[in-house]
Structure formats: C-alpha cells, structure tokens
C-alpha cells in the first residue's frame, strides 16, 4: 500500500503532498523534514530505493527520483514492488508534463488551479488504490 506521495524541492520545501493515512499537519511536516534530510544526505550514485522505517515506521520503504529542482518520492509498504513504484514516478511526471505542458516547480506552485488539482487527484487516487494501469509505449523499447 502506498502511504504517501511527496514532491519536495531541493531546498526542502514541499510542493505537493498526499498522505493516505490521517496525520496531523505537524506530523506531516515532521515526516517531510525527515524524508528531505535523508534525501539531501545521500550521494548521487546510490540506489533510489531505501528503507524508511526510521521515518514512517516499520515495514516502510521509500523510492525517489530527482528531476531538475524537484524530488518525487513515493512511500509504501513491503506489499508493493520497488521497481513498479519507480515506474509510477515516471508515469506521474509524464502525466504532470501533459497537465502543465512541461511541468516545472513554478507550475506546481503558481499554476495550481482547481482543474489541475483535480487532474493530480485523478492521478494519485488510482495509484494509491493499486488500480493504475498504463501501457508501455513503443518508445520504451527503443
């Protein structure tokens, strides 16, 4: 099960967050700080997968991808496949690119209209429920 989807900039500011368990705002901020602390201390050449037990509790894993000035992070339990989560990050970013026409951090901050919020919710809900199905386009095979 996916526990959280986070988009954090390289300064540690959350740009998009979605927690799938109820958490107080203070607890959410604490978790975001914990995730960012771990991400910014990791070397560039290390794996994008890691245990997140110390941040999110037992049986928690984290996968992330760094694009430009943003970290895209999925937190999940052991019932999910790490490579599938990494692929979901790619699908999420590609969908945001279509939603915002080449998404960047400023789009998420300043162009976050009601329509785009609905678009992002439409993406994240099936991801959390495990119902997201996507086709691998032929360009992936080249």
Tell me what pLDDT residue 21 has: 86
82 burial (CB, 10 Å; 0-12 / 13-18 / 19+) is middle
Q: How confident is the model at residue 138 (pLDDT cuts 50, 70, 90)?
A: very low
Per-residue confidence (pLDDT) for residue 135, from 0 to 100: 41
Dihedral sign for Cα 71, 30, 77, 58, please: positive
Higher pLDDT, 96 or 125: 96
* 132 has pLDDT over 90: no
Residue ranges of domains in the chain, CATH in brackets: 2-141 (3.30.450.60)
Share of the chain above pLDDT 90, in %: 27
Average pLDDT over residues 36-64: 88
Whether residue 32 has pLDDT greater than 50:
yes
Contacts of 124 (CB under 8 A, 6+ apart): 5, 18, 92
Q: 139: pLDDT confidence band, cut at 50, 70 and 90? A: very low
Report the run of H or E that residue 76 belongs to, with start and end.
Answer: strand 70-77
Q: What is the dihedral of CA 77, 14, 85, 139, to 10 degrees?
A: 180
């Amino acid at each position: 099960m996916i526990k959280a989807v986070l988009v954090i900039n390289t300064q540690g500011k959350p740009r998009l967050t979605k927690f799938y368990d109820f958490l107080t705002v203070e607890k959410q901020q604490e978790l975001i700080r914990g995730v960012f602390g771990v991400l910014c201390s990791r070397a560039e050449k290390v794996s994008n997968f890691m245990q997140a037990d110390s941040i999110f509790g037992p049986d928690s894993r984290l996968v992330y991808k760094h694009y430009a000035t943003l970290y895209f992070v999925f937190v999940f339990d052991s019932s999910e496949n790490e490579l599938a989560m990494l692929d979901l990050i790619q699908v999420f970013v590609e969908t945001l690119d279509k939603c915002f026409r080449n998404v960047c951090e400023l789009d998420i901050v300043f162009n976050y209209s009601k329509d785009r919020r609905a678009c992002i919710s439409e993406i994240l809900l099936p991801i959390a429920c495990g119902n997201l199905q996507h086709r691998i386009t032929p360009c992936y095979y080249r």
